[in-house]
Amino acid sequence: MKKNFISNSSESIRMFKNPILEGLSKVPYFIPLIVFVPVIGYFCWKSVAMNGPVLFTGYLLLGLFIWTLTEYVMHRFVFHFYPKSEWGKRIHFIFHGVHHDYPNDAKRLVMPPSASIPLALAFYLLFKYTLSPVLLDGFFAGFLLGYLFYDMTHYMLHHAQFKNTFWKKLKQQHMLHHYDDSTKKYGVTSDIWDKVFGTR
């Protein structure tokens, strides 16, 4: 495979001179669990109380499904958008370019709360003003659950060895995205949208 990365070291490179910004750009893999599991639990509880377990399950699954499309769209069109300006290139490097240059940097494999919390809030407000109040809580719980699964899966794909066929296939797909052709295989937790949009 062609070499399109700088280093496979698990060590972090410095991105910011400011120590506070540098610290905010790194995060251990378990931090998203600490931040988002209670939030998901809260929205699940609210949805079950309002809708009962059957409707809640449907809304949760819908949120999970919409997450898979969001994951694909953000990875393909946001993280892999290549600006021409120097300022734009710097922003791209901070958000995703660093991950492709240093794909095994253990502290930059999950999204830091400094980015994930504002994004989650923005999505919540979007859904609040576009979805029925009855649907909102269960849907958002499913959406966040999908995000959390994405973050944990992404970390494992870079640092775990799998024997299970499903996980081995998922890892192979993601490694091909990194080490062969970064314009293909944008799905991390699933290849469903790569199949739909012809980027497999």
Concatenated DSSP letters for 138-200? Answer: HHHHHHHHHHHHHHHHHHHHHH----SHHHHHHHHHHHHHHHT-TTS---SS-SHHHHHHT--
Give the per-residue pLDDT at 101: 87
Closest CA to 137 of 3, 25, 45, 8: 45
Mean pLDDT for the stretch of residues 67-96:
91
Mean pLDDT for the stretch of residues 159-164:
90
Question: What percent of the chain stands above pLDDT 90?
Answer: 66
Higher pLDDT, 8 or 49: 49
What does pTM read for this prediction? 0.92
Give the per-residue pLDDT at 92: 86
Least confident piece of the model among 38-42, 124-128, 181-185, 192-196: 181-185
pLDDT of 131-157, one tens digit each?
999 999 999 999 999 999 999 999 999
Give the per-residue pLDDT at 1: 43
Residue 185 pLDDT more than 80? yes
